[in-house]
Structure 1
Amino acid sequence: MADITVGSRIICEGNYGTVRYLGEVPPTKGQWFGVEWDDPSRGKHDGAHEGVRYFHCRHPTGGSFVRAKKVDPERQTCYEALKDKYGLASDGDTGVNEEDLYVIGRSAKKVMVEMVGAEKVSKQQSHEKLIEVDLRDHKIVSAGPDGILQTTAPNITELNLSKNLLPSWEEVAKITSQLHCLEMLHVSENMLELPEDPASLSPALQTVKIVFYNRVQLQTEQLLRCSSMWPALRELHICFNNITVLDRLGAQFPALTLLNLEGNLLHDWQEVLKLGGMKSLETLIVNDTGLTRIAFKDMSVGEKTDMFPCLKSISISRNKLQNWEDINELNKLQCLEELECRSNPVLSLDTDKMAVRLWLIARIGGLRVCNRSQVAVKERETAEFDYIKKYGLEWLGAGGDPEPDKNKPSLKFQQTHPRFAEIIAKHGAPNKMELEPVTTALKKTLLSVKIVCPSRGDKVFNKKVPGTMTVQKLKILIQRLTKANFSDLKLSYTSGKEDQEEKQEIELDNDMRDLNFYSIENNDVILVQEESS
């Protein structure tokens, strides 16, 4: 334990902590480690014992004293971990089988064959292949001998050092300064001390473009100080930290294209808007941040906001959004193409998961990817037609009319359904007859059909579907069952009656027609073909 000093990171019975004090604690004899634990529930006090202050903790129960024998003795350098995990040849090991260095001579004696350059070639082959290196949870405390990583594995581009025992950014810099190709760095779950002058470490981190710095109890002021260490940074993941305000973040990280704030308790959308001036930001992840609303009040219905001018993707899952109006607001973003939105109260307003996806698509006109699944052109058409059907009567009741000169929907309707005018301009305005609800008897009329997929081993799905289901909706159902590409699906059907010797195959050639139009009956067979687009 001679290498453990104040500031060292240790493990004790599976708990990680930082040594804040070394010495005696009267009236007991012998040396104690005063430890500030990463998990404050592991501690007993704040560094004071029996009225004497030995060290300080951020949490009132974050500290305690332990004996050296309780501390995990296993500790190693980055080089040792690299060598152990990836089996790198040591200085005296060429990587060549010793038996291959001998041949049998005329006198039946072994004769050694000299292999010129074997050691050099072997090392180059093993070292240069290392591009992505994962050393998570390897009890690493330091870099190792000066320059050893540069000669051992010079081509590393991605390095995972998460959950180790590195005490500071200075120690991390001793590792990264040797890796001139490094672009992605994982240092999550390391409680790293910041240097007095973070900018002094920028030469050691000048090639790093992506940083993962999750679960380190990071606060906003500490993060802002880090910015000068990462001059080339483009993607920053700082999940599950203590960041609650976003002041000056955009100014300190102007070149970011991706920012992941998942798990930080922001609570208020106004904090997120402080990032609105980031002109390079393309991806924003604010999952599980306590958001209760989304609003761009600088723009009215149908207008695009100047905020987040390049934002293409946003993730808002596991928040507290309760109204569809919050989703509508995202349509004000100029470039939004991708949305991840799961586990929000608003999504529970409709129990049909397929319908929820369609409402997300219909409300955001530029969406190409929804919850990590591509939005096909036909799926968008289905979503927008269904949106018209669902809210068409409400539109008519609010002053909407198929005749342009009579069409004057109320301001409230426009605010609640800001894309409705755009959708009917694209697909045509509905009339009242089209929107009248079907009778209860018709709703209950279901067809039992067999869905057969020859390209997937003639797998058969027995389903009950309403005769009023459109071909488009049937394709969406089949896409969900088979994981096939929506745009590749071609459907037809044959009669399920056994007394018919020659069964005609009829193509379902119009996505907007319902199954009743094609006279599909109980026990008919839906044939699914997949045609590559």
Structure 2
Amino acid sequence: MPSLSEAIHKKYGKEDAQNVEFGLPIEIYVPKTNPRNCMPSLLVLNDCDIESAGDEEELDEMCQIVEDLDLAQNKLEKWSEIFGILTHMPRLKFVNLSFNNLHSEILTTSTQNIFPFLRNLVLNGTLIEWKSVRTLLRLLPSLEELHLSLNAYSYVDLDPAPYATLRRLHFMGNPVHTWLEVCKLGAVFPELESLVLADCPLASLDVPEEREASPGGRTESESELCQCVTCPHACFARLHFLNLNNCLLSSWSEVERLSRFPALRQLRLSGCPLFEDYTEQERRQLLIARLPNVEVLNGGGVITDEEREDAERAFIRHYMDKPESDRPERYGDLVSVHGQLQPLVSIDLSPKKKVRITFRCGERADVRCISVYQTVQELKHRLEEFSGICTAKMRLFYLDQDLRAVPGCQEEMRFPTRQLYRYNMASGDEILVESKP
């Protein structure tokens, strides 16, 4: 396995090019460029099988100007080797160590291992333990952005002392299922402005009075937190951006809690079970009407006054014929603004919202009632358990029941963001599930 210094020489070193002769009375001399003199400030060496720092004197000479370091998908396992690399890069601001196996504990630290200029640290898929995270936070006094996604965290275990410099935290794909664990992140990082929780199995934003302790028992800091957290937004006074894509929210009352986050202006919320029976336009309007604080929803531009008014009027009409007990509190607020509206003339040309489809994968078959307003990507995600094929390697073929006898009539569902109704599906049609070669 190569060291970092060897990988640098291999990628950035130059061969000697002495006198180059072309059979002409002209000679061109191309001097050799030493890697010490051509080293870029952005050093990208991912997937190079690097497992150690290598020659420290060479690193010290070559890496003085390096500011961004990408060492993702290498063979680094020892923190002593990582610190041996970082100490020779005094200007370092960004480090990506994703998908190195960093499960081992940080055994020794010293004042030499404090990195005052490092602003952004990426540790996705490293399986780093919470104890090591706590140690790193003490060594990185200026850290502003931290990535801890895909590390199999089911709970949060950080020091109670606030870490005031962190502004952006990526925590996606971790199996945390209670909002209290998320509140621990907000308590430790009180200046947090951006939080990514996509693909976390959060079914509720509630903070119940009866609370389970974290594995290993409740710590003193956890007990203090339980006393001060009285509502979902208590620890997120400065949170401006929140990503809850593909979480498990299943009721509108959970969504309405987001309107109480005092600084929340940008929200990403899609792929939740709650939205399965709604069209894309219905989802957006019902979200905008419920969340007057949100200015940007699921990317794109700022919500205009015209779009918000249309959404609020659509919201009133959506609930006006429902029993008063089924109307949310927001309904009364909007009626006081827009008044009682007349129902619109209903001419429904939209496709049926649900159809019964037969799914086939090899010898297995399954009949399901599915929403035609979900996307191909969302459907693939829901077929993983049935097919045993991961989303990235899954292929879907749509088979119209009226065209089964026609050779080659299957249509591959190639576009992940296309909604199913665009295939004109009807009950009785089939979808074939196959694996990519």
Cα distance change of structure 1 residues 112 and 417 upon mapping to structure 2, 3 Å threshold: closer
TM-score normalised to the size of structure 1?
Answer: 0.55
Asked whether the 8 Å contact 1:182–1:207 carries over to 2, the reply is yes
Measure the CA separation in 2 of the matches of 1:100 and 1:125: 26
Measure the CA separation in 1 of the matches of 2:350 and 2:86: 67
The question of 1:357 aligning with 2:284 is answered yes
Q: Cα distance, 1:157 vs. partner?
A: 2.1
Q: Cα distance, 1:281 vs. partner?
A: 0.2
Aligned positions of 1:20-419 closer than 5 A: 75-85=1-11, 87-89=12-14, 93=16, 98-99=19-20, 126-127=38-39, 130-192=40-102, 193-200=104-111, 202-203=113-114, 205-248=115-158, 251=161, 253-277=163-187, 278-295=189-206, 305-350=233-278, 352-377=279-304, 378-394=306-322, 398=324, 413=327, 416-418=328-330
Cα distance change of structure 1 residues 225 and 304 upon mapping to structure 2, 3 Å threshold: closer
Count of aligned pairs between the two proteins: 327
More displaced stretch, 76-85 vs 215-224: 215-224
SS of the residue corresponding to residue 80 of structure 1 reads: helix
Asked whether the 8 Å contact 1:243–1:264 carries over to 2, the reply is yes
SS of the residue corresponding to residue 320 of structure 2 reads: helix
- Which runs of 5 or more residues in structure 1 are unaligned? 1-74, 105-109, 399-409, 447-533
Q: Which amino acid aligns with 2:296?
A: V
Q: Cα distance, 1:226 vs. partner?
A: 2.9
| TM-superposition CA deviations, 1:150-187 (whole Å, max 9, x none) | 43343322211112122311111121112222111111
Q: Which amino acid aligns with 1:165?
A: K
Measure the CA separation in 1 of the matches of 2:181 and 2:350: 51
Asked whether the 8 Å contact 2:19–2:28 carries over to 1, the reply is no
SS of the residue corresponding to residue 339 of structure 1 reads: strand
Asked whether the 8 Å contact 1:321–1:344 carries over to 2, the reply is yes
Cα distance change of structure 1 residues 76 and 124 upon mapping to structure 2, 3 Å threshold: closer
CA radius of gyration, larger in: 1
| TM-superposition CA deviations, 1:215-240 (whole Å, max 9, x none) | 22233333223322322211111111
Q: Cα distance, 1:444 vs. partner?
A: 5.2
Asked whether the 8 Å contact 1:384–1:423 carries over to 2, the reply is yes
Asked whether the 8 Å contact 1:219–1:242 carries over to 2, the reply is no
Asked whether the 8 Å contact 2:183–2:232 carries over to 1, the reply is no
| TM-superposition CA deviations, 1:47-94 (whole Å, max 9, x none) | xxxxxxxxxxxxxxxxxxxxxxxxxxxx11212222323x3337xx4x
Asked whether the 8 Å contact 1:159–1:184 carries over to 2, the reply is yes
| TM-superposition CA deviations, 1:450-505 (whole Å, max 9, x none) | xxxxxxxxxxxxxxxxxxxxxxxxxxxxxxxxxxxxxxxxxxxxxxxxxxxxxxxx
Asked whether the 8 Å contact 1:240–1:264 carries over to 2, the reply is yes
Asked whether the 8 Å contact 1:217–1:241 carries over to 2, the reply is yes
Q: Which amino acid aligns with 2:192?
A: L
- Which runs of 5 or more residues in structure 2 are unaligned? 210-230, 352-437
Measure the CA separation in 2 of the matches of 1:417 and 1:165: 55
Measure the CA separation in 2 of the matches of 1:354 and 1:201: 56
Q: Cα distance, 1:255 vs. partner?
A: 2.3
Aligned positions of 1:482-501 closer than 5 A: none
| TM-superposition CA deviations, 1:237-269 (whole Å, max 9, x none) | 111113222243563643211112212211111
Asked whether the 8 Å contact 1:210–1:233 carries over to 2, the reply is yes
Cα distance change of structure 1 residues 100 and 176 upon mapping to structure 2, 3 Å threshold: farther
Measure the CA separation in 2 of the matches of 1:100 and 1:154: 36
Cα distance change of structure 1 residues 335 and 139 upon mapping to structure 2, 3 Å threshold: same
Q: Aligned Cα RMSD in Å?
A: 3.3
Measure the CA separation in 1 of the matches of 2:48 and 2:316: 57
Measure the CA separation in 2 of the matches of 1:337 and 1:296: 22
Asked whether the 8 Å contact 2:296–2:302 carries over to 1, the reply is yes
The question of 1:438 aligning with 2:326 is answered no
Asked whether the 8 Å contact 2:120–2:146 carries over to 1, the reply is yes
SS of the residue corresponding to residue 140 of structure 1 reads: coil
Q: Please name the residue that 2:214 is paired with.
A: none
Measure the CA separation in 1 of the matches of 2:272 and 2:285: 16
Q: Please name the residue that 1:18 is paired with.
A: none
Cα distance change of structure 1 residues 258 and 444 upon mapping to structure 2, 3 Å threshold: closer
Cα distance change of structure 1 residues 296 and 363 upon mapping to structure 2, 3 Å threshold: farther
How much identity, in percent, do the aligned residues show?
22
More displaced stretch, 373-382 vs 260-269: 373-382
Greater length-normalized contact order (CA 8 Å, ≥ 6 residues apart): 2
Q: Which amino acid aligns with 2:92?
A: L
Measure the CA separation in 2 of the matches of 1:276 and 1:146: 39
Q: Please name the residue that 2:407 is paired with.
A: none
Asked whether the 8 Å contact 1:214–1:239 carries over to 2, the reply is yes
Q: Which amino acid aligns with 1:99?
A: V
Asked whether the 8 Å contact 1:202–1:228 carries over to 2, the reply is no
SS of the residue corresponding to residue 43 of structure 2 reads: strand
Q: Cα distance, 1:197 vs. partner?
A: 3.0
Cα distance change of structure 1 residues 421 and 150 upon mapping to structure 2, 3 Å threshold: farther
Aligned positions of 1:510-529 closer than 5 A: none
Measure the CA separation in 1 of the matches of 2:159 and 2:298: 27
SS of the residue corresponding to residue 169 of structure 2 reads: strand
Q: Which amino acid aligns with 1:326?
A: E
Measure the CA separation in 2 of the matches of 1:131 and 1:353: 44
